[in-house]
């Protein structure tokens, strides 16, 4: 089954990989920073080698985002994702793995999960039978 892992972070630290600029990460002892960075690299290699990683992408600064709504046939476009939250969508991984438990395991190993959040969303096929 395919899962979309959505990575959320504070855009004040927006430069990828985001966790490397997070104040909490920067406050960690150097040995812990090195271990977390090595684990992140190892996770990407592991997912590549297992074939579970389908796509991974970092998103640009939220200031470059546009929100589009169509109401009564009229399109309205606004700048940015003006959401009243501290953390905004920063990037994603699309994985194909055996179970939601495996997807959650992968999400928990993404360093940004320590400092922000990673959501796990199952992806429906065209038939919608997964729901």
Q: Which residues, including other chains, have CB under 8 Å from residue 23's CB and lie 6 or more apart?
A: 13
Mean pLDDT of the chain: 86
Give the CATH superfamily of 2-122: Dimeric alpha+beta barrel (3.30.70.1060)
Give mean pLDDT, residues 41-61. Answer: 93
pLDDT digits (tens, 9 = 90+) for 70-117: 999 999 888 876 555 566 888 999 999 999 999 999 999 999 898 888
Q: Distance between CA 62 and CA 55 in Å, rounded?
A: 20
Domain boundaries defined on the chain: 2-122
Report how far residue 77's alpha carbon sits from residue 74's, in angstroms, rounded to the nearest whole number. Answer: 10
Average pLDDT over residues 54-76: 87
């Amino acid at each position: 089954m395919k899962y979309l892992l959505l990575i959320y972070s504070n855009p004040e630290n927006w430069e990828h990989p985001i966790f490397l600029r997070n104040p909490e990460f920067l406050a960690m002892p150097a040995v812990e920073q090195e271990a977390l960075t090595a684990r992140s690299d190892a996770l990407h290699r592991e997912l590549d080698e297992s074939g579970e990683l389908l796509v991974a992408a970092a998103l640009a600064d939220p200031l470059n985002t546009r929100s589009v709504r169509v109401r009564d046939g009229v399109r309205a476009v606004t700048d940015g994702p003006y959401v009243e939250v501290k953390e905004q969508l920063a990037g994603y991984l699309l994985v194909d793995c055996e179970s939601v438990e495996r997807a959650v395991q992968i999400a928990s190993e993404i360093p940004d999960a320590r400092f922000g959040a990673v959501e796990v969303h199952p992806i429906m096929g065209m038939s919608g039978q997964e729901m």
